[in-house]
Amino acid sequence: IDEGTEVEANIEDYYIHEEFRKGQRMNNDIALVLLKGRGIPLGPHIMPICLPPKNADYSPGLNCTISGFGSIDNGRSAHSRDLRFGWLPLIDQDICRADWVYGRSRITDGMLCAGYLDEGVDACDGDSGGPLACQHN
């Protein structure tokens, strides 16, 4: 979807978390991207996101957004040409660690769990490492 708000920028460098992919879990699935030049001009459609304080409360039920260019059909490798987004709630860690959800060994203390336990909005293949943005007032 061409909305007229898209901006392209060249990448100068990127930095992957030094602890990413150590072990079998997807801990530290995050990177920083350094853009060439002065970056992207801010405006009504482009704003920076604030990082939360270290002790921020991520209570179950807090609505957050995800976004990415991942697959739009489960099991398919074709990625979206358009940036897609959706709203989903945070899930209690104990529920997320239940055997019928992800299991205790797959969810670590450094992870947040978000989504719906039945069908609904979700991330898919190719969305890994994308943002989870939660609004704190």
21 and 79 in a single domain? The answer is no
What pLDDT, on the 0 to 100 scale, is given for residue 2?
64
Residue 1 predicted with pLDDT over 60: no
CA–CA separation, 27 and 22 (whole Å):
8
The pLDDT assigned to 25 comes to: 67
Provide the residue range defining the domain that includes 83.
Answer: 60-137
DSSP 95: H
Average pLDDT, stretch 108-112? 82
Cα angle 49-70-38, degrees, rounded to a multiple of 5 = 40
Any domain includes 54: no
Q: Alpha helix locations (H) across the chain? A: 93-96
Residue 11's pLDDT band (boundaries 50, 70, 90)? very high
Specify whether 68 is located in the same domain as 135: yes
Least confident of 22-26, 27-31, 98-102: 22-26
**Number of separate domains in the chain:** 2
For 24, the token pair is: 């079998």
Average pLDDT over residues 4-10: 84
What's the mean pLDDT when you consider all of the chain? 84
pTM for this one? 0.75
Tokens of 82: 């358009």
Cα(16)–Cα(28) distance, integer angstroms: 9
38 and 72 both lie in a single domain:
no
Say if 55 falls within a structural domain. Answer: no
pLDDT greater than 80 at residue 48 = yes
**What pLDDT, on the 0 to 100 scale, is given for residue 137?**
65
